[in-house]
Amino acid sequence: MTISAPRALAAVLVSLFLASAVTAQTAAPTSGLTVEGVIFEKEAQVAGTALKLNGAGVRTKFVFKVYAAGLYLAAPARTPAEVYAAKGPKRLKVSFVRETDATTLGKTMSQVMSDNLPREQFGKCIPGLIKLGELFADKKKMGVGEMFTVDEIPAKATVISINNKVAAEISEPEFFACLMYNYFGERPADAKLKLALLGGP
């Protein structure tokens, strides 16, 4: 498809983030879910709120497993509409199971969001995408075992932490919802991961 100038700008400047596909998740007896060796606890505390693990899965690109991802919400969401409408704090946790080039991931994510979001909504996300791109461009690569979280704190900001250290805050209130379209849009980066994050098999 032909990408408008603002979308093309974001795709170039966003140097980072996520790539594409999933496999299975296995139950950990006491901790929650273990996905490709990554433990997703049953609960996470964000801004003083106890969030529950909504679902988790592993994304692959071609035949390569790239990272495990988990979504935490205050109440269960089993459809994309419920994720977008969810109230209160939220968390996306991503842990890498393969050394990953940040630039390639960023371009993939930006393109998927561009494909799924209306132009006006995508435009509101561009400042946050640029900041996210700059952050991960500095990081260049995510190694095996490294992780980041994206926390939405309503009325404050979206907080991005790398390896449990706060790295950036994005003030645009639309940013976290825009990010979710990468996973839950009609044309997501990976349909199996979409199902897994919604609590599916």
Q: Domains of the chain by range and CATH?
A: 5-197 (3.50.70.10)
- 18-64 tens-digit pLDDT: 333 333 344 444 468 999 999 999 999 999 999 999 999 999 888 88
Mean pLDDT (whole number) for 167-191: 91
Whole-structure pTM value: 0.82
Please report the sign of the dihedral spanned by the C-alpha atoms of residue 188, residue 14, residue 90, residue 174.
negative
pLDDT confidence bin for 184, thresholds 50/70/90: very high
- Cα torsion 185, 168, 108, 113 to 10°: value is 30
66: left (phi over 0), alpha (psi -120 to 50) or beta: alpha
Q: Is pLDDT above 80 for 159?
A: yes
Instruction: Check pLDDT > 80 for residue 3.
Output: no
